[in-house]
């Protein structure tokens, strides 16, 4: 599904993060991307989403080489990206508007979007949260709702940046349960090895 070949990337300030980096995710795989703080894990996610561009190397995503901004428009529709910080992912007044935002943007009607909101809240076991104000949720609740909003776009592949961070025991167990239940392949970045091991089938170190 995704193949990164011989990637070189440095930030504008000259911070060299990736050099001759190779990475692949095949259909059905669930991979943990591991590395110390600052190793470049989030940078890899941003490259896949086309939010930053590699100076060297090739990105093959969904069977095509992706180079220019327009190549990544389709990638962003097909790949779900759960941000490290849920505050950057939730920006609507209510939970239902946040979850409906993506589907409506993808052309769904209001009633279709409402159905998706119900389905996804059921999936993450947070029924009844529709009318709650997103900004009043706890950090753990925000993470789960942010994930519901990502899943609402029916992505084919997921990039999950610290899905267990700031979750208490109960919410972490819920996240594990959701990750086991969904059908999509995913790449996960987490400093919580114990929880990651419950949901992945292989790991890859930067
Ligand atoms: N916009 C930026 N400009 C310059 N340097 C950056 C930028 N964003 C990240 N970096 C640096 O690039 C390196 C890789 O950052 P990145 O966030 O990809 O690491 P990470 O492996 O995800 O780290 P962590 O485990 O701490 O989340 C770090 O040294 C970071 O400080």
CATH of the domain at 7: 3.40.50.300
The per-residue pLDDT for 110 is 94
Residue appearing with tokens 């939730």: 90
Contact between residue 50 and residue 76 where contact means Cβ atoms under 8 Å apart: yes
Ligand 1 centre and the CA of 161: distance in Å? 13
Task: Tell whether ligand 1 has an atom less than 6 A from the beta carbon of residue 205.
Answer: no
Q: Which two tokens stand for residue 165?
A: 């961070």
Residue to probe by mutation, ligand 1, list 4, 8, 10, 11, most atoms within 8 Å of CB: 11
Task: Tell whether ligand 1 has an atom less than 6 A from the beta carbon of residue 11.
Answer: yes
Ligand 1 centre and the CA of 128: distance in Å? 37
* CA gap 126, 139 in Å, rounded: 14
Range of the domain at 48: 2-205
The per-residue pLDDT for 166 is 85
Q: Count the alpha carbons within 13 Å of 127 in the hemisphere toward its beta carbon.
A: 6
| 3-state class (DSSP) for residue 150 | helix
* CA gap 196, 11 in Å, rounded: 29
Tally DSSP H helices, then E strands, for the chain: 7, 9
Q: Taking each helix axis from N to C terminus, what angle separates 139-151 and 95-105, rounded to the nearest 10 degrees?
A: 20
Output the CA–CA distances (angstroms, integers) from residue 156 to 72, 80, 88, 125, in the order listed: 15, 8, 22, 22
Provide the number of structural domains found in the chain.
1
Task: Tell whether ligand 1 has an atom less than 6 A from the beta carbon of residue 51.
Answer: no
Please state the length of the chain. Answer: 206
Residue to probe by mutation, ligand 1, list 10, 33, 40, 163, most atoms within 8 Å of CB: 40
> How many other C-beta atoms can be found within 10 angstroms of the C-beta atom of residue 54?
19
Q: Express each pLDDT in 56-104 by its tens digit.
A: 999 999 999 999 999 999 999 999 999 999 999 999 999 999 999 999 9
Intervals of the chain under pLDDT 50: none
Task: Tell whether ligand 1 has an atom less than 6 A from the beta carbon of residue 35.
Answer: yes
């Amino acid at each position: 599904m995704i193949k990164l070949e011989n990637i070189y990337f440095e930030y504008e300030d000259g911070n060299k993060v990736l050099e001759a980096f190779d990475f692949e995710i095949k259909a059905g795989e669930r991979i943990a991307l591991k590395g110390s703080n600052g190793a470049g894990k989030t940078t890899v996610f941003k490259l896949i989403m086309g939010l930053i561009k590699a100076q060297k190397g090739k990105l093959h995503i969904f069977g095509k080489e992706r180079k220019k901004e327009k190549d990544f428009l389709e990638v962003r529709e097909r790949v779900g990206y759960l941000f490290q910080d849920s505050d950057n992912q939730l920006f609507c007044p209510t939970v239902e508007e946040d979850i409906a935002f993506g589907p409506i943007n993808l052309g769904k009607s209001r009633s279709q979007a409402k159905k998706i909101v119900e389905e996804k809240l059921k999936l993450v076991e947070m029924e009844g949260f529709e009318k709650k104000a997103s900004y009043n949720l706890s950090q753990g609740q925000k993470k789960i709702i942010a994930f519901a909003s990502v899943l609402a776009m029916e992505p084919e592949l997921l990039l999950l940046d610290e899905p267990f961070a700031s979750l208490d025991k109960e919410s972490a167990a819920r996240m594990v349960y959701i990750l086991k239940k969904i059908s999509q392949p995913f790449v996960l970045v987490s400093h919580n090895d114990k929880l990651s091991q419950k949901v992945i089938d292989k790991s890859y170190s930067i």
